[in-house]
Amino acid sequence: MKRSIALILGTAALALTMPAAAQDGVRGTPRQAARAMQHFSQCVVRREPVRAQQILGMDYRTPEYQSALRDFALSERSCLRGAELSFGGVLLAGSMAEAMLMQLLERRTLLSRLSSMPAATRPTARDDGESAAMCTVDTAPDQVATLFATDVGSIGERDAIMALTGPIADCLTPGTRASLNRNGIRAVLALAAYRLVQPAAAGASGS
């Protein structure tokens, strides 16, 4: 029975399509698609940070969240830069969360930001999948930060994810399995890290 992190992938799929432009003679490769999505997410977060924060703060298990994420993505088609994208909602949300996370951390490390978080403000995991992802961020913050510092689809990303397989496995409920590809792992860890860091960042800013 597959549980744990794989449960986070239950969000509705998004399909964002526009005429694709050839880049370096290659079109539609997984690495190219992943980078296009990253650029798209960085663009929408830069243009609409408040709206992005509101959507990421919603309960991803609800139809309202799925509709809001889809509407947000479709309203920012200009950020596609002529790319053709088709991907699951969790990958878009994770990429948005990673972009927001980098803004929240600024020059602080993920570990120091987590350490400054009051216990009373710590968010509660909403299911086994989010629990496992939060556990991984808590127990291996520097390794997770190393992953976020890598380029999408790079060898460095592959190596960083391989280094995280142990911490992820340790955070799974005994007897359960997780089935995720590289993009999925990066996305769920970004979503977990963002949700954990946001209360600490708000407290530090006095909001």
Separation CA 111–CA 97 (nearest Å): 17
What is residue 81's predicted lDDT score, i.e. its pLDDT? Answer: 67
Separation CA 124–CA 116 (nearest Å): 17
pTM score, whole prediction: 0.80
Separation CA 53–CA 48 (nearest Å): 9
Could you read off the pLDDT of 45-77 as tens digits, one per residue? Answer: 999 999 999 999 999 989 999 899 988 988 888
Please tell me what DSSP assigns to residue 10.
Answer: G
Name the burial class of residue 23, with classes exposed (0-12), middle (13-18) and buried (19+) by CB atoms within 10 angstroms of its CB.
middle
Q: Using alpha carbons only, what angle is made at residue 91 by residues 207 and 115, rounded to the nearest 5 degrees?
A: 40
What is residue 10's predicted lDDT score, i.e. its pLDDT? Answer: 35
Could you read off the pLDDT of 144-179 as tens digits, one per residue? Answer: 999 999 998 889 999 999 999 889 988 988 777 667
Residue 15 reports pLDDT greater than 70: no
Helix (H) or strand (E) holding 16: strand 13-16
Q: Rg (Cα) of the chain, in Å, rounded? A: 16
Domain boundaries, the chain: 4-205
What is residue 109's predicted lDDT score, i.e. its pLDDT? Answer: 80
Question: Are 62 and 34 a contacting pair, CB within 8 Å?
Answer: no
Dihedral sign from CA coordinates of 146, 147, 152, 154: positive
Dihedral sign from CA coordinates of 70, 87, 60, 203: negative
- CB within 8 A of 70, min separation 6: which ones? 12, 14, 89
What is residue 133's predicted lDDT score, i.e. its pLDDT? Answer: 92
Could you read off the pLDDT of 78-125 as tens digits, one per residue? Answer: 887 665 666 678 888 999 999 999 888 876 788 887 877 777 778 888
pLDDT tier at 43, thresholds 50, 70, 90: very high
